[in-house]
Amino acid sequence: ETGVTQSPTHLIKTRGQQVTLRCSSQSGHNTVSWYQQALGQGPQFIFQYYREEENGRGNFPPRFSGLQFPNYSSELNVNALELDDSALYLCASSLGAGWADTQYFGPGTRLTVL
């Protein structure tokens, strides 16, 4: 049972706007990772947070930022939206900080940038 939820389900924004996506991890999971899945591609790692500190970052510009809160929720913020930011955004939580731990994914937020 994953217990990971994301909100909103769908979102439409215009170029240049800012967006905040939210994720609620499974209780007790100290690590949350965010991924971007563009059409026809596999998920791409954006960043990971462990106990509220950034614990790794993929090849994404600084306008992608995040926060993790003590209540196992987290946010992905994207500033100055571009058309190419249109994608499915997934979060995944895991118990420890290790990448060999099983990750539990949420259903994703579909972002469309017009």
Partner 1 sequence: ILNVEQSPQSLHVQEGDSTNFTCSFPSSNFYALHWYRWETAKSPEALFVMTLNGDEKKKGRISATLNTKEGYSYLYIKGSQPEDSATYLCAFLETGANNLFFGTGTRLTVIP
Binding site for partner 1 (CB under 8 A): 2, 4, 33, 35, 40-45, 48, 55-56, 58-59, 90, 92, 99-108
Q: Give whichever of 27 and 102 is closer to partner 1, judged by the CB atom.
A: 102
Q: Give whichever of 41 and 71 is closer to partner 1, judged by the CB atom.
A: 41
Q: How many CB atoms lie within 10 A of CB 21?
A: 22
Q: Give whichever of 43 and 81 is closer to partner 1, judged by the CB atom.
A: 43
CB neighbour list of residue 38: distance below 8 Å, 6 or more residues apart: 44, 84, 86, 87
Nearest distance in Å: CB 58, partner 1: 6
Nearest distance in Å: CB 51, partner 1: 15
Distance CA 48, CA 42 (A): 17
Tokens, residue 78 = 């994207």
Tokens, residue 90 = 């997934």
Distance CA 49, CA 43 (A): 17
Q: Give whichever of 74 and 81 is closer to partner 1, judged by the CB atom.
A: 74
Nearest distance in Å: CB 2, partner 1: 6
